[in-house]
Amino acid sequence: MATPLEQWVEEAARLTRPQRITWCDGSEDEAAQMQEEMLREGRTLRLNSKTYPNCILHRSNPNDVARTEKVTFICTRDRESAGPTNNWMAPAEAKEKLTALFAGAMKDRTMYVVPYVMGPAASPQSRVGVEITDSPYVVASMRIMTRMGKAAMERLGGSADFVPGLHSLGDLNPERRYIVHFQEEKTIWSIGSGYGGNALLGKKCFALRIASWMAREQGWMAEHMLILGLEAPSGKVTYMAAAFPSACGKTNLAMMVSALQDQGYRVWTIGDDIAWMQIGADGYLRAINPEAGFFGVAPGTNAHTNPNVMAAIKKNTIFTNTAMTANQEPWWEGMDATPPPGLVDWQGRAWSASNGPAAQPNSRYTVPARQSPCISPRFEDPAGVPISAFIFGGRRARLAPLVFESFSWQHGVYIGATMASETTAAATGAVGVTRRDPMAMLPFCGYNMADYFRHWLEMGRRVPHPPKIFHVNWFRKGADGKFLWPGYGENVRVLKWILERVEGTGGAAETPIGLVPSQNALTTDGLNVSRGTIEELLRVDSSDWSREHEEAGEFFERFGDRLPEEIRGEHARLGERLHHVAAAKD
């Protein structure tokens, strides 16, 4: 008898009509074949085999360079289950619309069946997915980003316990591009894009949109969070998870080379984008990274900002939409001061400033996590790591101080729920527009965000040792339009204060929005930032925050009665604290 997986593959083949079907095992031979296939297709080049062995450069269709939130849908029977922040389509309508697009879509193409595990192969927190795709680039990427092939088949056996994801490039016409999630069925259909989170279905589609739904049903958390371990001089490692919106610094924080290394503080990486967390037997939230690789933003990465990544990407790496030097090496803005002579841009043209940036602003590297010099020895730990702090953050040129701490779990959930950030090139649409992005999950929460806030509040009541909650902003700018804070490896100074707060030693001063480091509580030795700038970085302007408070209130109105009472309460209390300060000034 056919297994549930075999039945689904057969059904997909009947619909998409591929020329042949290949079951992927994740072997080296298969990876080499996939590269050959990509090179034949003509959008992929081999890079310098001496300086970048086994590395390739892939150029995606110029109309397909980032996630497309407009055509991403959450399909639930009831519209309210998806909530006001998601695009919704009725499941039957979505099935009908996409069935027409998938019909015959793989004609003359190979259908690849890609079984994968999200999470360490031996962890009870891990889950199996299977992606069907007609893109060898997707197969090659999934091999890096997940535990793909044999390990997944062994875990799955003949069972039906997997998340099916059907993907086809279709005709790559943006008019016929859809990324659709059937939440009740825990199934994903994606057509018309070969890029990133649109096409690597284990990532945002499964590990966040479907998994957040599963997590609420089953009492765990699936978050858009990096996971890092901060090692103190004593050798003790404290784990933290941080949620920043897309292209707002997760990979860089998770992989930083600490500026306080000579004082004994260093950072170990568990994950750079997604965290799955369950309540452990020890009463702590235990986090695993469901991914096995990093799909990181290339521009801005260099030997100073992120030497760990620069070391990791020297082999076995896929570069997508970066530029290429005359020497067949990858290049992007921010790697060196000026473009080298003979540079070819991301579309394969001789570089010219009049054509815009040489590397697409959302160009990326796809690299096995194990290649990173800072990978944590507990990267594969099946029990996950205990989380002591949650850190929210965004890109705010104004308003948000460098760091502040919540007064309580509930207040921390409120801080996450009111997060806002300037949009980036990680998704199509305008860049630099400030929008509400609760917990950095606006594009990824697979259900009504009001219910998601409720789930967070509920988890806080259930976890015996809940993490303390903080908010950071590396992106505050001065009157000259320049960043006030040097960022990157210097961010460890903020992590150190967070660690001291967790341990109950760090000094803090109260403001209406939360606790900021008291004078001298932030370690500044060796830091080339003036006292005045530090003060400006930590300044909380009550009148600016009153405006922010009003905007958050308008955002919450979208959820109507579904918004949890506790959030309403926190909102009112912040209003009172701000009012109090304003009254004291008069």
248 is a catalytic site residue: yes
The piece of 184-192, 195-203, 339-347, 497-505 that touches ligand SPV (CB under 6 A) is 195-203
The distance of closest approach from Cβ of residue 273 to Mn ion in the complex, given in angstroms and rounded to an integer, is: 4
CA angle 172, 178, 181 (to 5 degrees): 145
Which residue shows structure tokens 């390739």?
56
- Both tokens assigned to 412: 């921390």
91 binds, among ligand GTP, ligand SPV, Mn ion, none (CB under 5 to 8 A by kind): none
273 binds ligand SPV (CB under 6 A): yes
Q: Give the DSSP H/E element, type plus range, for residue 420.
A: strand 420-422
Residue 379 has what DSSP assignment? T
CB distance 210 to 227 below 8 Å: no
d(CA 364, CA 491): 23
CB distance 326 to 386 below 8 Å: no
CB distance 142 to 25 below 8 Å: no
The distance of closest approach from Cβ of residue 418 to ligand GTP in the complex, given in angstroms and rounded to an integer, is: 19
- Which of 166, 136, 110, 157 is CA-nearest to residue 36? 136
- Which of 441, 512, 516 is CA-nearest to residue 472? 516
Q: Where are the beta strands (DSSP E) in 153-234?
A: 163-168, 178-182, 187-191, 221-223, 226-231
30 binds Mn ion (CB under 5 A): no
Other C-beta atoms within 10 Å of 425: how many? 19
Closest CB to ligand GTP among residues 92, 433: 433
**Main-chain dihedrals φ then ψ at residue 372, nearest 5 degrees:** -80, 130
Which residue shows structure tokens 């299977």?
130
Going from the C-alpha of 543 to that of each of 64, 457, 480, the distances in angstroms are 42, 29, 22
Which residues make up the interface to ligand GTP (CB under 6 A)? 244, 246-252, 272-273, 296-297, 299-301, 305, 426, 474, 483, 487-488, 491
The distance of closest approach from Cβ of residue 481 to ligand GTP in the complex, given in angstroms and rounded to an integer, is: 13
The distance of closest approach from Cβ of residue 444 to ligand SPV in the complex, given in angstroms and rounded to an integer, is: 8
The distance of closest approach from Cβ of residue 210 to ligand GTP in the complex, given in angstroms and rounded to an integer, is: 18
The piece of 112-120, 265-273, 309-317, 570-578 that touches Mn ion (CB under 5 A) is 265-273
- Both tokens assigned to 323: 């530029």
| Cα dihedral value 17, 23, 29, 33, nearest 10 | 10
190 binds, among ligand SPV, Mn ion, ligand GTP, none (CB under 5 to 8 A by kind): none
The piece of 82-90, 113-121, 196-204, 561-569 that touches ligand SPV (CB under 6 A) is 196-204
The distance of closest approach from Cβ of residue 501 to ligand SPV in the complex, given in angstroms and rounded to an integer, is: 28
Q: Return the residue of 95, 127, 177, 203 that touches ligand SPV, per CB under 6 A.
A: 203
Closest CB to ligand GTP among residues 30, 437: 437
Closest CB to Mn ion among residues 89, 240: 240
Which of 24, 248, 374, 445 is catalytic? The answer is 248
Closest CB to ligand GTP among residues 186, 476: 476
Task: Fill in the per-residue mask, 398 to 427: x = in contact with ligand SPV (CB under 6 A), - = not in contact.
Answer: ----------------------------x-
| Binding stretches for Mn ion (CB under 5 A) | 246, 273
Binding site for ligand SPV (CB under 6 A): 67, 196-197, 203-204, 246, 273, 295, 426
List the catalytic residues.
248
